[in-house]
Amino acid sequence: MPKISIITVCYNSAATIEKTINSVISQDYSNVEYIIIDGNSSDETQNIIRKYEDKIAYWVSEPDKGIYDAMNKGMQHATGDLIEFLNSDDWFEDGALKNVADAWHREKADVYFGDYYFVFVDGTREHKHVSMGDCEKLPYEMKLNHQAIFIKRDVILRYPFNLAYRIAADYDQLQRLYYEKAAFAYIGGAPLVCFMKDGGITDSQVNRTKTEDLRVIRKNARMYNNSSPEICAIRWHLLQLIVISLWENRVCPSIKKCVNGKSFVLFGAGEVGRGVIGFLRTHGANVIAVLDNDKNKNGMLLGNVRITHPSFYQRKYGEIVLITNYRYQNEIRTQLMERGLVDGKDFYSYEMWVKWLIRMIFWGS
């Protein structure tokens, strides 16, 4: 049976860490090594840890350079076959580690990953399903949850967390593993871990996360010479963000001049679409509908705009349709043309619209 090293990094986590610890030591799997790296907490965290010292293989409390520095420290003390990082406000489901061990025997891989629960502040839970297809998206999108990932020790030690990142070093690590052809395996079964979803996260925190994700995507795409359509589209999106930030005093009025009062329909109800809704509204445009081919999304809201299946959409107001789904933009383009819409007049792929917008901003034509 594989030895599994669980590492919890914490700082002033007295309100939550006891539940985390208990979820580890109560597992019905015995070959576990538990490590806690505390960042010199000033609350009751250390006293809580001391209550369970006989169940903890190693713990230390000392200042560090941030969460990823502490995680790198924990890796150096781990001796297990697999290493996992469990946040101090998250917890394992019963039987989680046995499921991991079963996957280890069933399939040889470098990285094992599984489903997880989002737990909201009101206690409700949302089952987040992942698949092998999500691994293929790693160069441009992070769908896996780091709390539900178990990596072979000899592999992860070759890819320590990059301290240049404050938020996205785990994404950077997984991207590098993907590009270096690490073998991924889906654990399957019930969700492994409960991940607290902070209901109070701010727009600035979201923006910082997205900015770091884009830095990771750009850096690794260059390093590994990835020029896929998804990466090219993200580069255009990054260029848009750079233009707006560098030329804010000039660009914002220019953008408003281009889009103010115009009506748009977005085709693609993902995170790109959410960002475009905010961008358009900021500059005086109207977003009247969001279309998506996923029938499960029909009737849901994206940025307070109702998502509609394309079969229910009737174009009435001469609105411009923007394709905000990178991966399936060719299929969506065909779908719109079959309905009589003209490419470059009635609808645009998102990156082509961004090109037009940048051209209008700088050259006015």
Quick: pLDDT tens for 141-180: 899 999 999 999 999 999 999 999 999 999 999 999 999 9
Residue written as tokens 């669980």? 6
Would you say 78 and 2 are in contact if contact means Cβ atoms under 8 Å apart? no
Cα dihedral angle (255, 257, 258, 262), rounded to 10 degrees? 110
pLDDT tier, 235 (very low <50, low <70, confident <90, very high otherwise): low
Q: Looking at per-residue confidence, does 98 or 349 come out higher?
A: 98
Residue written as tokens 């107001």? 317
What is the pLDDT, as a whole number, of residue 232? 66
Q: Does some domain include residue 173?
A: yes
- SS3 call for 239: helix
Q: Are residues 194 and 328 in the same domain?
A: no
- SS3 call for 322: strand
| Distance, CA of 169 to CA of 159 (rounded, Å) | 10
Q: Are residues 80 and 194 in the same domain?
A: yes
Tokens of 206: 């979201």
Q: Does some domain include residue 230?
A: no
Q: Does some domain include residue 117?
A: yes
Q: Are residues 27 and 139 in the same domain?
A: yes
**Burial of 252 from C-beta contacts in 10 A (0-12 / 13-18 / 19+):** middle
Domain C-terminal end among 202, 234, 268: 202
Q: Does some domain include residue 13?
A: yes
- SS3 call for 347: strand
Tokens of 325: 């789904």
| Distance, CA of 97 to CA of 134 (rounded, Å) | 22
Q: What is the mean pLDDT of residues 238-264?
A: 63
Q: Are residues 259 and 174 in the same domain?
A: no
Q: Does some domain include residue 224?
A: no
Other CB atoms within 10 A of residue 168 CB? 23
CA atoms in the 13 A half-sphere facing the CB of 365: 0
| Distance, CA of 120 to CA of 195 (rounded, Å) | 9
> DSSP per residue over 27-75, as a string?
-S---EEEEEEE---SSSHHHHHHHTGGG-SEEEE---SSHHHHHHHHH
What is the pLDDT, as a whole number, of residue 246? 40
Question: How confident is the model over 58-71, as pLDDT tens digits?
Answer: 999 999 999 999 99
CATH number for position 90: 3.90.550.10
Q: Are residues 12 and 149 in the same domain?
A: yes
Predicted TM-score (pTM) of the model is 0.68
- SS3 call for 112: strand
- Of the candidate ranges 74-88, 264-278, 284-298, the one whose mean pLDDT is the lowest: 264-278
Domain tally, the chain: 2
pLDDT tier, 325 (very low <50, low <70, confident <90, very high otherwise): confident
Would you say 75 and 83 are in contact if contact means Cβ atoms under 8 Å apart? yes
**Burial of 309 from C-beta contacts in 10 A (0-12 / 13-18 / 19+):** middle
Q: Are residues 272 and 176 in the same domain?
A: no
Cα dihedral angle (69, 74, 80, 84), rounded to 10 degrees? -60
Domain that holds residue 309: 251-363
Cα dihedral angle (185, 190, 194, 198), rounded to 10 degrees? 90
Domain C-terminal end among 168, 202, 236: 202
Q: Looking at per-residue confidence, does 342 or 246 come out higher?
A: 342
CATH number for position 344: 3.40.50.720
Handedness of CA 282, 287, 292, 297 (dihedral sign): positive
pLDDT at 247 over 90: no
Q: Are residues 184 and 262 in the same domain?
A: no
The residues, ordered by sequence, that sit 6+ positions from 58 with a Cβ below 8 Å of its Cβ are 35, 36, 77
Alpha-carbon distance values, 184 to 82, 92, 116, 279, 332 (Å): 13, 21, 17, 36, 30
pLDDT tier, 198 (very low <50, low <70, confident <90, very high otherwise): low
Domain C-terminal end among 202, 217, 243: 202
Q: Does some domain include residue 16?
A: yes
Q: Are residues 123 and 195 in the same domain?
A: yes
Q: Does some domain include residue 45?
A: yes
Q: Are residues 161 and 263 in the same domain?
A: no
Tokens of 215: 């830095």
Q: Are residues 174 and 259 in the same domain?
A: no
Q: Does some domain include residue 211?
A: no
pLDDT at 275 over 60: yes
Q: Are residues 93 and 158 in the same domain?
A: yes
Q: What is the mean pLDDT of residues 93-103?
A: 97
Q: Are residues 124 and 26 in the same domain?
A: yes
